[in-house]
Amino acid sequence: MTFLVTGGAGFIGSAVIRELIQNTPHRVINVDKLTYAGNLESLTEIEDNQRYTFIEADICDADKMAAVLKEYQPNIIMHLAAESHVDRSIDGPAEFIQTNIVGTFNLLNTAKTYWLELADELKKQFRFHHISTDEVYGDLHGTDDLFTESTSYAPSSPYSASKASSDHLVRAWNRTYDFPVVVTNCSNNYGPFHFPEKLIPLTILNALEGEPLPIYGAGTQIRDWLYVEDHARALIKVATQGVIGETYNIGGHNEKQNIEVVNSICAILEELKPTKPAGLNNYADLITFVTDRPGHDLRYAIDARKIDKELGWTPQESFDSGLRKTVEWYLANKTWWQRVRSGQYQGERLGQL
C-alpha cells in the first residue's frame, strides 16, 4: 500500500516512516512543511530507498495537497503534522490554531474529495488516521484513574485545545460524511531524534554541557512515558487494522514524576559518561527548579487496554530500557543534536531552496 504521512520529518512522524520503510513492504510519501521541528536528517538512513518520497508542502495549502493526493494515490493517510510544544502555544497560539485546526480542516476536505472519486475497492481500503494526544483530556487529580477512549475532553493549553478541536473535526467528518477515520491519542513520547526543547532530550544535552536542568515547580507533575518506536508500531497497527470510527489510546504504562525522570537520566549519565564538564561533581547538582508553567496539568495516565485487547499491541520497552536506549543514542549521535542546537540543520536546508 501507499502511506501518505503528514509531518513525517518530525519526531514521531520520522519514527513511523523509518518503521514503515525498514520493516514493511509499503510505499511512503512524506509531506512536511519543514518548520523548525522538521528535520530531514532524522531520515537519512532511509532517504535513498525507492519506496520513499519527500514532498515539502503545507497541509494548509489545499490545492497543493489535492495535487499530491491525485499524483500519489495513497491508500492510507497518517496525519501527524502539528504544532506540539505547550510553552510555544502559550507564547504564540495563532500558529497552533492555523496548523492544528485549519490545517486539519483543509486536509479532511481535500482527502474527502479524493476518497469520493476512488473506485469502490480502493474506497473501501482507504483510511484517514488522525494522530492526537492525551493532553486533550485535561489532567487527572486522583492517583488511580486513567484516561479512557470515552473520557470527556477538558484541554488546558492552547496546544491541547487546538488538538481537541482537530479531533472533533475528524470525528465529525466520519459522522456526517461517512469518511473512514481512525483516531489515536497517545501519552508523552521519548526516544531517538527528539527535538531538544522537550524534557528528556533537553535534560540529557544540558547535563552533557554542564548547563542547568530546569524543572517546573517541584517537578511532581506525572506523565505516562511511551518509547517512540513502540508508538510507531502501534500507529501502523491502528492504520492497517483499526476499526473505522474508533479511537485507540496508546500509552507506555510508565507513570513517572518529572523529577524522577530527570534523576534517572542523571543516574544513567553517571554510569555512561562519568567524565563531566569542569567543576561538576554530580549531574544531579544541575537540577534547577523554575516557576511553574501557567495552567500546567498535574497528571496524565493512559488506559491502553483497548488497543491491547482488540489489536494485540503492547509496548516492548519498559521505561528503564527505553530511557537507557535514548541516552545511549544521544551519546552516540552528537553530530545530529549539535546541528539541531546550533540551527545548522535548518540553515543548510534554507540555503538549498
Exactly one of 52, 114, 137, 159 is catalytic; which is it?
Answer: 159
Q: Which residue has the cell 554530580?
A: 282
CA distances from residue 164 to 60, 83, 317, 345 in whole angstroms, order as listed = 18, 13, 28, 31
Q: DSSP secondary-structure letter at 97?
A: I
Q: Which residue has the cell 502511506?
A: 3
CA dist 210 and 34 (Å) reads 30
Whether the CB-CB separation of 50 and 24 falls below 8 Å is answered with no
**Residues, the chain:** 353
Whether the CB-CB separation of 155 and 314 falls below 8 Å is answered with no
Q: Which residue has the cell 488506559?
A: 303
Backbone angles phi, psi at 267, to 5 degrees: -65, -40
Annotation marks residue 159 as catalytic: yes
Annotation marks residue 135 as catalytic: yes
Exactly one of 41, 83, 134, 230 is catalytic; which is it?
Answer: 134
Exactly one of 19, 135, 224, 255 is catalytic; which is it?
Answer: 135
Whether the CB-CB separation of 321 and 233 falls below 8 Å is answered with no
- Angle at the Cα of 19 from the Cα atoms of 16 and 21, rounded to 5 degrees: 110
Annotation marks residue 56 as catalytic: no
Indicate which residues carry an active-site annotation.
134-135, 159
